């Protein structure tokens, strides 16, 4: 009897300490973002420990190129079903390689009219955020409505995709949206193998780790060599120096082998880009230190 009471007290103290620790993390994050000219949405979750917190977690935020993660999931689901193959080749016309957009693929093959495998298109799109590659993938799978249906089918309701990269400008920048919590939920399902088969899950995770974009964002808040599987997204600025959005979402591996998910969204930003990059890095560092101190 006494032993049971003692164990119950230990559990209650542990829960209270955990709650206090999360509350302190939330205060620390709020302090970081309180002076910044932007709307923030943040979601944090430990995959193994299931501890979670959010700031504006259910607020709709523009995804920008974060939606390339959702597109890649949809493409790879078709690979799982045998409708597409990673070694399948697609003929890329020169007119598909638009000039006025971010496209390492176009820079490498300026004349177009060549064959690329689905694997190459996914790597350009996910690892290097290629906008032309993104729109070619959307064309292959039947457009944004295919992505919408697939993500909804996986239980993610707070998600809207209507425009491709070429169409995302002006007010359209605010149409493709999701929430920080919905992003974290999808990342967790993906990591746990509840979205794709084992091989395609490992494949996408790997090319997200190989992301070459946003090296001064979330990645800069982590110790060198830390494994981060992530996807970034950023808009340009308008004539008033307003940036519609800047985002970084991903899965971080801790030294003890555990993982946490961090989804950071910013919208309507008037800070300089370097300030915003440092803010994302500072948020990431703070969350990292919280998990590092956990028993």
Q: Which of 265, 266, 262 lies closest to 284, judged by CA?
A: 262
Q: Are 282 and 25 in contact (CB under 8 A)?
A: no
- pLDDT score for 212: 96
Least confident window among 3-7, 52-56, 117-121, 176-180: 3-7
Residue 231 makes CB contacts below 8 A (sequence gap 6+) with 65, 66, 68, 69, 126, 208, 211, 248, 249, 250
**Which distant-in-sequence residues (6+ apart) come within 8 Å of 289 by Cβ?**
none
Based on the residue annotation, tell me whether 165 is a catalytic residue of this protein: yes
pLDDT at residue 161 greater than cutoff 90: yes
User: Could you read off the pLDDT of 9-58 as tens digits, one per residue?
Assistant: 444 444 444 556 899 999 999 999 999 999 999 999 999 999 999 999 99
Q: Tell me which of 225 and 13 has the higher pLDDT.
A: 225
Structure tokens at 219: 């990645």
Strand blocks (E) in the chain: 39-46, 52-55, 61-62, 89-92, 114-117, 159-160, 177-178, 228-234, 243-253, 259-269
As given in the structure block, the two tokens for residue 286 are: 């703070």
Task: Give the three-class secondary structure for 213.
Answer: coil
Is 65 a residue of the active site? yes
Q: Is it the case that residue 152 has pLDDT exceeding 50?
A: yes
C-alpha 291/C-alpha 295 separation (Å) is 9
What is the C-alpha to C-alpha distance for residues 225 and 243, in angstroms, rounded to an integer? 30
Percent of the chain with pLDDT over 90: 91
Confidence class for position 201, pLDDT limits 50, 70, 90 = very high
Q: Cα–Cα distances in Å, from 105 out to 56, 102, 116, 138?
A: 36, 9, 10, 16
What are the structural domains of the chain?
35-293 (3.40.710.10)
User: Average pLDDT, stretch 229-249?
Assistant: 97
Q: Which of 43, 65, 103, 235 is catalytic?
A: 65
Which residue among 127, 165, 185, 235 is the active-site one? 165
Which DSSP category does 275 fall into? H
> Which residue's structure tokens are 């979670």?
52
**Is the per-residue pLDDT at 190 higher than 90?**
yes
The answer to whether residues 70 and 176 touch, using CB atoms and an 8 Å cutoff, is no
Query: How far is Cα of residue 223 from the mean position of the Cα atoms in its chain?
Result: 19
* Res 295: pLDDT: 73
């Amino acid at each position: 009897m006494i032993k049971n009471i003692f164990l119950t007290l230990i559990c209650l103290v542990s829960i209270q300490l955990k709650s206090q620790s999360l509350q302190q993390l939330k205060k620390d994050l709020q302090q970081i973002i309180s002076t910044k000219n932007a709307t923030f949405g943040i979601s944090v979750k430990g995959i193994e420990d299931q501890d979670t917190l959010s700031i504006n977690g259910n607020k709709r935020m523009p995804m920008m190129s974060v939606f390339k993660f959702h597109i890649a999931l949809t493409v790879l689901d078709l690979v799982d079903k045998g409708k597409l193959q990673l070694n399948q080749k697609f003929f890329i016309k020169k007119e598909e390689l638009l000039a006025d957009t971010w496209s390492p693929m176009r820079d490498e093959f300026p004349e177009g009219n060549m064959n690329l495998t689905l694997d190459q298109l996914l790597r350009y799109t996910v690892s290097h955020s290629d906008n032309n590659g993104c729109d070619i993938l959307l064309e292959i799978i039947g457009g944004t409505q295919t992505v919408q249906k697939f993500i909804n089918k996986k239980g993610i309701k707070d998600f809207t995709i209507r425009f491709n990269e070429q169409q995302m400008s002006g007010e359209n920048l605010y149409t493709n949206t999701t929430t920080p919590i919905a992003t974290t939920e999808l990342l967790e399902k993906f990591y746990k193998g509840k979205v794709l088969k084992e091989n395609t899950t490992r494949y996408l995770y790997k090319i997200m780790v190989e992301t070459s974009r946003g090296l001064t964002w979330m990645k800069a808040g982590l110790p060198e060599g830390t494994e981060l599987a992530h996807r970034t997204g950023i808009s340009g600025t308008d004539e008033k120096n307003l940036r519609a959005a800047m985002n970084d979402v991903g899965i971080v591996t801790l030294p003890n082998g555990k993982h946490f998910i961090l989804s950071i969204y910013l919208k309507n930003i008037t800070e300089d880009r370097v300030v915003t990059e440092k803010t994302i890095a500072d948020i990431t560092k703070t969350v990292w230190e919280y998990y590092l101190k956990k028993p």
